[in-house]
Chains A and B, each alone.
Chain A
Amino acid sequence: MNASTVAELAEERSTAAGRPRAVRGMLSFCLLASSGIGLPAGTCGLATGATFSSQELELGTGAQTKRCTTAAAKTHQAPILTTRSAIHTLRVSSGLTWEQIAELFQVSRRSLHFWASGKALAAENEARLMQVLGVLRYIDRGDSLRTRRALLEPDPRTGVRAFDLLAGQKFNEARELLGKGEGGGFHVWQELSPEEQAARRPPRPWELLDQLPDEVVHRDLGISRPARTLRTKRREHP
């Protein structure tokens, strides 16, 4: 299944009836992570050494999430992305700035930052996000800077930019304009584990104010002795 078919399938599924509205905001799709480091273009290497030549995108939302069923997925559990992860994946894989991503989706910076913090996307934006990620996966130039350059540079023959095609939701045209990339630069932004997230949050103001009075509450052993000391002369330092 090539990326175009998958993207079309993704679009079809995203507009199909029956997707529970209760799980909107949890945009889940399965991307096969690619390390791409030191590996031949077009393949993904896994710890086990398994390789595969095609990557699939499958759309799922909440309880309907389907995991990828390729052979590789049997050896490597692909991460399920939240909306937040998807937005950050787009950012780190495309090299686009926040302003450029907002322009791509024709939304305000404020809306984009809401998405990046996990706020629910409208159905049409969900589909659009998946389409854009699918295109990025396809045109991947090996690193985000080269991918960004490819997106933003006008085509020498037509003067058209792939970025503008994406902004206009002309995803197939964008793919055709840039062609398939060497891969290796598409980087999935996984969520931290819940424990890790909790450990890194700064304390809340009320937690700081909730600190107990400064008093001795421990129990000393109550045993002490004079130390037998010897005085020496000062050392030299560098």
Chain B
Amino acid sequence: MSTPDADRLRAIDAVSKEWRQGDCVLGELWFAFGFKPSAPITEEARAAAEGEAEVVEERVRGFVVATQTCDLVRSCRERHFLEVCTLVEMEAAALEEVRLGRRLRYAYLPGVASQRLVADLDRVMTLEKGVLLDWQRTRGCPRPTDAQAFARALARKHSRFAFPDDFVSFVRPLAKRIQEKHKRQSSEGAWLRAMREIRVRVAPRWDAPEVSITFLLLLDVEDEVSALGDIELLLKDWRGLVPATPRFISVGFLLTRLEGMTAMEYIESEALDLEHLSSAQPER
């Protein structure tokens, strides 16, 4: 296989240095994915299967670069590829849901939101960096905070903790209660709205035959014992929601603020993936 000449590689490296994670290219572009001709899933794959193809290309509105900036700027001699996610168009209401972080499949890009475009994190494609020579760059993340939010969305897509099935069942009543009550004008609703995060710590480890669980409830309040109503009774109600499960021999609740947590407590615990719990299939 012949290699590109040195001038072209230098040109690719020069243009790569201008791109950042979150930058977009708009226009008539094609997203390619493979499929099994005898078992196509999508409409596109079914159409392609009839034509005996094994890879289908789908027209998309554009791409957003998912590759980290530090890898983009490395020479194409060492790092040949970049990864992109497709840009998809949606209605205003759905766009707002993405902006609020309620649709984890998608990531909000302020730079292209005016065109109602978001990143579809489910569809990722790898390309050689040479494509950058022809692409017109559009900033999807104009501000550093936008870029950080996009990076978090990418990381979250692939790094959410896989809670064991029995834990998901165990905590489902609690998740349901939060979902039902957090908008209510009640002391419990106020308390839930003041909650910054729920973390869970399991010892000695998640797959031990018997585990001790501690729920760390992080509140955005000046004082943990604030004038939010009868938190003690609520906590007692909550404890009643958590069913006795043979493997979970001890369950505790620690109410604190972020400022009151030690770094070790944070490292040893996981954020409770409530959005997963709310969408998980119920037990049959």
Chain A residues in the interface with B (C-beta under 8 A): 33-35, 37-39, 45-47, 76, 79, 88, 91-93, 95, 97-98, 113, 116-117, 142-146, 148-149, 184-185, 187-193, 195-197, 200-202, 214-216, 227-235, 237-238
Please report the C-alpha to C-alpha distance between residue A36 and residue B252 in the assembled complex, in whole angstroms: 10
**CB-CB < 8 A to A214: which residues of B?**
74, 78-79
Please give me the residue from chain B that is nearest to A117 by CB atom: B264
Judge whether B267 is part of the interface by a CB distance below 8 angstroms. Answer: yes
Please give me the residue from chain B that is nearest to A84 by CB atom: B264
**CB-CB < 8 A to A238: which residues of B?**
90-91, 94
- Looking at the complex, which of B192-200, B206-214, B272-280 is the stretch in contact with chain A? B206-214
**CB-CB < 8 A to A195: which residues of B?**
205
Please report the C-alpha to C-alpha distance between residue A47 and residue B74 in the assembled complex, in whole angstroms: 56
A232 with B203: in contact, given A145-B231, A238-B91 (CB under 8 Å)? Answer: no
A201 with B267: in contact, given A229-B56, A230-B56 (CB under 8 Å)? Answer: yes
Please report the C-alpha to C-alpha distance between residue A124 and residue B118 in the assembled complex, in whole angstroms: 62
Residues of B187-231 at the interface with A, using a CB-CB cut-off of 8 Å, are 203-205, 208, 210, 212, 214, 224-225, 231
Please report the C-alpha to C-alpha distance between residue A237 and residue B97 in the assembled complex, in whole angstroms: 14
Chain B residues in the interface with A (C-beta under 8 A): 30, 32, 34, 42-44, 47-48, 51-61, 74, 78-79, 88-91, 94, 120, 203-205, 208, 210, 212, 214, 224-225, 231-232, 235-236, 239-240, 242-244, 246-256, 260, 262, 264-265, 267-268
Beyond A146-B236, A214-B78, A234-B61, 7 additional contacts (C-beta under 8 Å) are A33-B212, A95-B254, A143-B239, A187-B251, A189-B203, A190-B203, A232-B47
**CB-CB < 8 A to A192: which residues of B?**
203-205, 268
B71 to chain A, nearest CB (A): 8
